[in-house]
Structure 1
Amino acid sequence: MIQVKRSHMNISSPIGCCLEVDIPILVYEFSSKGSLHDNLHGNNKVPLGLGTRLRIAAYSAHGLDYMLSGPSGKGTKILHGDVKTENIFLDESFNPMVSHFGMSRLYRRTGILVNDMAYMDPVYLQTDLLTEQSDVYSFGVVILELISRKKATQSNNNRLVRKFLENHKQGRRSTELFDKEIAVTGHFELLDSLAGIAVECLDDDTSRRPTMSDVAKRLFILYRSQAN
């Protein structure tokens, strides 16, 4: 696996592979807090303050940008293809580690489609061409889940994404969609900025989407402003 060759604090690398099953299973390093999906939507949901959510968003984007750019911008670009909250793991301090890079292509070759349609770039679905902007789109959905604590699901016509996009198109704020746990802080300008970044990532025109590097930089600015 090429992922093993990369070392980054926000990348979860496989440490082994179980071959004693019909479909090989990768074994990853232990993450004490489980996945971001578990923490947002699981049966044992935990409190997640605005600062923690900003750190998760910023450092997840940092890890994705590292893999997409390569070390010092000179390495081979590695696309993820299945960015979602279930593939972002958290350690004891809620620092994120992105996992399962390149697994999308493996599953496609084996005929097993595991990608969650709610996160998939419509342009990718139309062209079957995976690009950096496909990962940017998926990460935009992750940001919306972080600030709303609502699941992005295809079964309800992806209402979460649709509502944020409709509000943006109509020039309305999405205050009613923010998770009450962070909305009570009153940092609506910051939350609006987060929603704005997500909406840009979800643009139907891939040329208008920001790069993952730009997303990471902007998220770090928001995170540091909150930390101060």
Structure 2
Amino acid sequence: MEKRRMLRAKQRFFEQNGGLLLQQQLGSLAASGVAFKIFSEEEVSKATDGFAEARVLGRGGHGVVYRGSLADGSTVTVKRSRVVEEKQLREFSREMLILSQINHRNVVKLLGCCLEVQVPMLVYEYVPNGSLHRYIHGGGAGAGEGLSPADRLRVAAESADALAYMHSSASPPILHGDVKSANILLDAGLTAKVSDFGASRLAPAADEAEVATLVQGTCGYLDPEYLLTCQLTSKSDVYSFAVVLLELLTGRKAFCPPPDSAAGSQDDDDDDDDRSLAFFFLTAAHKGRHREIMDGWVREEVGGEVLDNAAELVMQCLSMAGEERPTMKEVADRLAGMRSRASDS
């Protein structure tokens, strides 16, 4: 009796999460060369040793990420979310169909999902070197000085390429919604892979204005215009990416007290501004002191002209008005140019 009740519950969740639609589409996905699988709860549980603590790769406000081993011996990443909005559940199967077809070397590949649980679980390719945040700020193998200035520019350019692809080449366009250094992973060759489209959404059509009921994102990276309007746009990703670029150029975290006062002292009641890397940079840049807050190794290796170009790009991306910011495609193209000039210097 208990087993029958559990089977009914799994079937109910499977249908609620759009499993029937996905099942119908698997054949056409396979025919187009897309390897996407609907995993059973038993398969995912076995892959993670019953969601064992030893398998945990990371925890966040939305859930837990595990390292999994499939029956064929391949290693994967399993994202087990705690909660999901009802609207996201209604659109889940449609988003899975679109995300499963994303094929870009700098985007973490979605391999499949598990639908027979209340909150769907996602299965991604495993990226061994962990997050860019851990790599440049500590806590990971090779943390800190392991990422050379040339590698930092390359990682920035690769990440920008990935976001530009999602904004401009995916059909329909996909917004990330939570761009940050913790959501950029590094593979065995330190190639960047943008991950965690947990906050992502399909871009609304031109005549639709999608207003969020709850602003999502991470402190230090959040677009101030998004905070005011509750409307996520491609330019919100541009703002957040600029903060990641600053992390790479300065070695500083997105949100913490600056270690020195190159930008000048701040009033005690401006704590949030004082702790924001974006505000700290803008204050220094307006005084013409942006080079002073850059990482010393970066200053030596990339040259003053590239630093000035990068600072100008960041300032444009951090504009309070989204319409004044460049597109991710423009950002990617300009970073490619900077990489070329830096290698020539």
TM-score (norm 2): 0.59
Corresponding pairs, count: 220
Displacement of 1:188 in angstroms is 2.4
Could you say which residue in structure 2 is the equivalent of 1:165? 282
Q: 1:67 to 1:52 in 2, by over 3 A?
A: same
Could you say which residue in structure 2 is the equivalent of 1:146? 248
Could you say which residue in structure 2 is the equivalent of 1:124? 226
| Residues 79 and 102 in structure 1, CA contact (< 8 A), matched pair in contact too | no
Is there any run of 5+ residues in structure 1 with no aligned partner, and where? none
Greater Rg by CA:
2
Could you say which residue in structure 1 is the equivalent of 2:300? 184
Residue aligned with 1:76, SS: coil
1:215 & 1:144 partners in 2: Cα distance? 14
2:310 & 2:249 partners in 1: Cα distance? 8
Higher strand share: 2
1:195 paired with 2:195, answer: no
Could you say which residue in structure 1 is the equivalent of 2:101? 5
Is there any run of 5+ residues in structure 2 with no aligned partner, and where? 1-95, 203-212, 258-270
TM-score (norm 1): 0.86
Matching residue's letter, 2:166: M
Could you say which residue in structure 1 is the equivalent of 2:7? none
Displacement of 1:132 in angstroms is 0.6
Task: Provide the alpha-carbon RMSD of the alignment.
Answer: 2.4
Could you say which residue in structure 2 is the equivalent of 1:175? 291
1:159 & 1:176 partners in 2: Cα distance? 17
1:78 & 1:154 partners in 2: Cα distance? 30
Could you say which residue in structure 2 is the equivalent of 1:225? 341
Matching residue's letter, 2:192: P
Displacement of 1:41 in angstroms is 1.1
Displacement of 1:161 in angstroms is 1.1
| Residues 90 and 97 in structure 1, CA contact (< 8 A), matched pair in contact too | yes
| Residues 40 and 146 in structure 1, CA contact (< 8 A), matched pair in contact too | yes
Residue aligned with 2:189, SS: coil
The percent identity for this pair of structures is 42
Could you say which residue in structure 2 is the equivalent of 1:29? 125
By relative contact order (CA 8 Å, sep 6+), the higher-ranking structure is 1
1:48 paired with 2:137, answer: no
